[in-house]
Structure 1
Amino acid sequence: MNINLLIKLSNNCYWEPKTQAVIYDNHPVPLTSNMTTLLTLLIEHYDRPISSIDIFFHIWDDYDKEFNPKHIRSLISNLRKRLPCLIINNYYGGHYVLKKFRDNIPDITDYVLEILDQAKNGLTISDPNQPDNPVIFVNEAFTDLFGYTSEEVIGRNCRFLQGEDRDQTGLDEVREALSKQRDVTVTLRNYTKSGELIFNELTISPIFDKKNNKIKYFLGVQKNVTAVQKLIQQIKRMI
């Protein structure tokens, strides 16, 4: 068996893409045609949610057949029983995810905050499940950039960095992205504690709860692009 041509699903469990066969402990595992189609689809969407309806139309292409999520749940259950080595997560709203197997992942849970604190760009984490989406974490790069202590920031919405400079098109993009729970990158005019103007290239990404796919946090990354913006303005004045 040529391991290099296989996809590892778990320890001692492999998927052979060419024959669409599962090999466990060097022995093939028999699957029904529907199980094979389902597993192929899940592998193609590794680590990404796929809806029950999409699964239905891939497996039952007879459009006269009425969609019933029970058929999908039953098929998922049977596949899990046949291959208990698979990690298939159920997400809220009838979505399923096959988690990709990764070798030798270190447990960094206890060091996550230290890692974030040592990042070069400013980082914030806010909680949209609290009133006004307050900041619950800032790293040292953020406090160094804006001059505020973490105690002065945590518990507040980051809009205070705009001061009175609220007429910015990027703010509309941020509000829309937050409401639609999607990524966004904009450049904003922000102000330090001392009042200094900083052009902040802000990227916001939603963080979802893996158990129910509901929004849990927003991660903000702040990059100081003031020097670049000033250079652009100088060039415009010269033209």
Structure 2
Amino acid sequence: MIRVVLADDQRLVRAGFRSILDGEDDIDVVAEAADGVETVEQVRELLPDVVLMDVRMPRLDGLEATRRLVDDRRLEHVRVVILTTFDLDEYVYGALRAGASGFLVKDTEPMELIHAVRVVARGDALISPSTTRRLISELAGRLKEPVRSPRLDTLTEREREVLTMVAGGLSNDDIAERLVLSPATSKTHVSRIMTKLDVRDRAQLVVLAYEAGLVTPGWLA
């Protein structure tokens, strides 16, 4: 059972999402929260698998609430999905840097919402290849110079190659095909990279690789 907390200051938004998710046999909405402070308290008490987090909330916004959850070692298994009004709005980059596993537009289709919860619950990032490329393009003007991370020096040459492909939005199967590997081997490489770089999921790999200058807009067709 995937346990979900809904965090949004609009009662109707929460009610709509709950009605969709509660209809699924494998998803259980265990709590709702109307602001960031309440969200953090609910998550720490209930230990859900997924938090659907609005950005603009009273008392504590969704970005700071996400940071607090990600920084809490007791909540390592909790995945946060940011809810936005507009695709790739100004808060998305900050949300991913804060540790969110992806984002959803609030008017997403019901089946997309259900799929998103399942994807994030199993540990995958909720960023499609097309969205990843648009995200990198969106971030192009935000960073003047690459920020070198010493952690990258721990990667092997093959792992760096895999990292750039992950950051470009390729799935494990896509990477396996390009590098002539088995999907299992590709998945193992990605897992080792996340462990070495101390990141939670593929979303953080995208941000780290971009900030380090490993990928730039349009580099991967």
TM range (shorter): under 0.3
More strand per residue = 1
Q: TM-score, normalised by structure 2?
A: 0.21
More helix per residue = 2
Q: Which has the higher contact order (CA 8 A, sep 6+)?
A: 2
